[in-house]
Amino acid sequence: MRPFFFSILASMFFCEGFSQDASKGILSYLDAQRTKYDSMAATIWKWAEPGYMEEKTTSLMQ
């Protein structure tokens, strides 16, 4: 039973290293695009379209 738990624990630590590298890449991409997303969010909040009728919002996001 111990080898099983050890292998589970070891695989968790092994996979954690890969996920941290991936999350750093994602966070750096989002930081680089921050001004774009900030202005997009401000514009969407100004329009205030009702749910399921967001024509301007969807055209902006494409």
Q: Write down the pLDDT at residue 52.
A: 81
Query: Is-above-0.85 flag for pTM?
Result: no
Q: Write down the pLDDT at residue 30.
A: 87
Choose among 32, 56, 53, 52: nearest CA to 43.
56
- The DSSP code for 54 is -
Q: What is the residue-averaged pLDDT of the chain? A: 78
Q: Tens digit of pLDDT for each residue in 22-49?
A: 678 888 888 999 999 899 899 988 988 8
